[in-house]
Structure 1
Amino acid sequence: MRFPRSRRDPVEVNLTPLIDVVFLLLIFFMVSTTFETRQALELTLPESASGVAADVSPVTLAVTAQGVYRLQGRELSAAELGEALANEAEAAREAGLVIEADGRASHADVVRALDQASLLGIRQVRIATAQPASTQATSTQAETP
């Protein structure tokens, strides 16, 4: 006895909704992601008429008016500065260290940063300044003893 076999339609997966969802996620992440690696700090850089533009350094240490340090996007206290700077010391020895100190920052806070750099053997230290006529930041270069 022969039983008639019923033909089954082939199973298909419709990928159109999946592709739509993937594109929506891609657009969401592209719009919500910031592409700038440095976080903006409200620093008032001191002015310098004799400063010259320098190459961008991969290691930048910011000192705020409140005495808070920021290295590679991480906020640090004075006690944490030495260890965090030691982690970035190799790159700073090769390309130099840029210190962006707020014009209202305490002299002691800037000296503490310079002292830590000297202890770690970072000899090429630049201090960021602003040109008097514009707000474009430059940096002056100094060798630490």
Structure 2
Amino acid sequence: MRVPRRRREAVEVNLTPLIDVVFLLLIFFMVSTTFEPRQALELVLPESETGVAAEASPVTVVVTPEGAYRLGDRALAPGALEAALAQAAPRAREHGLVVEADGRAAHADVVRVLDRAGALDIRRVRIATAKATHSEAETP
């Protein structure tokens, strides 16, 4: 007697849920990763022997050697410093403002930032410096 063989159905793995999970993980890691936008800037901060480490502030103004300004990760057009600082003023009043000025930047460019901050009633202003690399014995 002949027994008819059943045809086995081909086993298929549904990859759609796997792809969904991979994309969700990718999105999660992209969103949760912190990026350091200032790595591209080559600032030479002025040195300070008496400087103290301070907590990071969400409002940071960078002054480049050429006199250009950046607020956070956003480059500012000439003359846009006051408007950008005014927009960030509530956070700066609460958390403080950090000025990262290159050591080669003109004094007038740094004073301009300090002046605008004072006009907007931002009172907690800190200037970022680098730790001094030479000892007191070397100082004249």
TM bucket normalised to smaller = 0.7 to 0.9
* TM alignment of 1:70-89, pairs within 5 A: 70-89=70-89
Letter in 1 for 2:86: A
Q: Which residue of 2 aligns with 1:96?
A: 96
Q: Is the 8 A contact 1:93 1:121 kept in 2?
A: yes
The answer to whether the aligner puts 1:122 opposite 2:122 as a matched pair is yes
Please report the TM-score for the alignment, with normalisation by the length of structure 2.
0.75
* Cα deviations by residue, 1:46-80 (Å, 9 ceiling, x for unpaired): 10001111121111111111211111211003300
Letter in 2 for 1:19: P
Q: Which residue of 2 aligns with 1:131?
A: 131
Q: How many residues are matched?
A: 121
Distance 1:37 1:28, change over 3 A: closer
Please report the TM-score for the alignment, with normalisation by the length of structure 1.
0.73
Q: 1:36 aligns with which of 30, 34, 37?
A: 34
Q: Distance in 1 between matches of 2:23 and 2:42?
A: 33
Q: Distance in 2 between matches of 1:96 and 1:130?
A: 19
- Greater mean deviation of Cα atoms: 34-43 or 119-128: 34-43
The answer to whether the aligner puts 1:18 opposite 2:16 as a matched pair is yes
Q: List alignment gaps of at least 5 residues for structure 2.
A: 1-11, 135-140
Greater strand percent: which structure?
A: 1
Percent identity, please. 49
Q: Distance in 2 between matches of 1:111 and 1:34?
A: 36
Runs of 4+ more than 4 Å apart: 27-34
Greater helix percent: which structure?
A: 2
Letter in 2 for 1:53: A
